[in-house]
Amino acid sequence: MEYRRLGRSGLKVSILSLGSWVTFDTQVDDELAVKCIGAAGDAGCNFFDNAEAYAGGKSEEIMGRAFRELGWPRWSYVLTTKLFWGIHGDVPNMRNTLNRKYLMHAIDGSLERLGDDFVDVVYCHRCDPDTPMEEIVQTFTEIIEHKKAHYWGTSEWTADEVRSAIDIADRHGWHKPVTEQSQYNLLERRKVEKEFARITDDFGYGNTIWSPLASGLLTGKYADGIPEDSRGALEGYEWLQDRLSDQDVIERVERLRPISERLDCSMAQLSLAWATKHPMVSSVITGASKVEQVEQNFAALDVIPKLDDDVMGEIDEALGR
């Protein structure tokens, strides 16, 4: 396993990591969570991602119980969560916000569900145009100084919003965000490769990317429709179905199959390995509903050395880039 610095911080994270979006509670119970996290740890993973909003807080609870069952020393892994959406219904100050009142309640709630005293990184799950950026940066500085988190980051912010937060932090001597969490995969590249290029150059901003398999589309399993046991068939995720059944996109993805077959890997492994090749990516967050999926995903580590410039060019050509 390769470990990369999270931006310009000194924190090192595994190049492949494990997240709980969609899977924990929906598809993964306590017993399976222990096995999946354990399998990831066996592969060298030290970075585990969660969020307050995942399964209405139940995902954090399951992950917290899994770590206690595994008995790993707390210093041996990096634990993260994200705040913004809220889980208390349509209540003023507790939903879709980053105001100080919400954040102070939310971080305590996440830590209680995780059964931990701190997270290593706390992310803003989205930006909040209704809260002054100065209030956001100051509050995350206080969260860090109160030892409830070691670092803070952003998720799906614009480059301008990140730059504003960093400028305010520099002006006041507050803690700066160190990493973004953007969607990035073979089909969705603009934000990481274009919009955030200058932010990375100027500030060394990290990125722990999500949806590296485009919600499973890049695995090739949707070529013949949406399988009953897949993410696209889950209740509450109907919004994915149009994309997962887009025949034009499916045909483009299928052009990757000969490349993966020649490299003796799955299309999922090819896509995960590809995502690690970008120097702006600190870690690629994987998801899995079975231990076998965890093991198969982390086998992408063996594919990374095979992706030389010629193969990377061939992948782009296959997708019409």
Tell me, yes or no, if 222 is annotated catalytic: no
Q: How much helix, strand and coil, in percent to the nearest 5, is found in the chain?
A: 50, 15, 35
Q: Are 152 and 110 in contact (CB under 8 A)?
A: no
What is the rounded distance in angstroms from the CA atom of residue 85 to the CA atom of residue 94?
8
The residue behind tokens 């879709």 is 96
Q: Are 82 and 113 in contact (CB under 8 A)?
A: no
Nearest to 270 by CA among 217, 307, 240: 307
CB proximity list for 216: less than 8 A, separation 6 or greater: 222, 230, 231, 232, 244
Q: How many CA atoms lie within 13 A of 128 on its CB side?
A: 25
Q: Can you name the residues that pair with 283 across neighbouring β-strands? A: 208
CB proximity list for 77: less than 8 A, separation 6 or greater: 41, 46, 47, 48, 67
Counting other chains too, the contacts that 39-42 makes at CB distance below 8 Å and 24 or more residues apart are 39/291, 39/294, 39/295, 39/298, 40/294, 40/298, 41/70, 41/72, 41/77
> What token pair was written down for 244?
């997962």
Given the residues 3, 54, 205, 237, the one annotated as active site: 54
The residue type of 210 is W
Which are the catalytic amino acids? 54
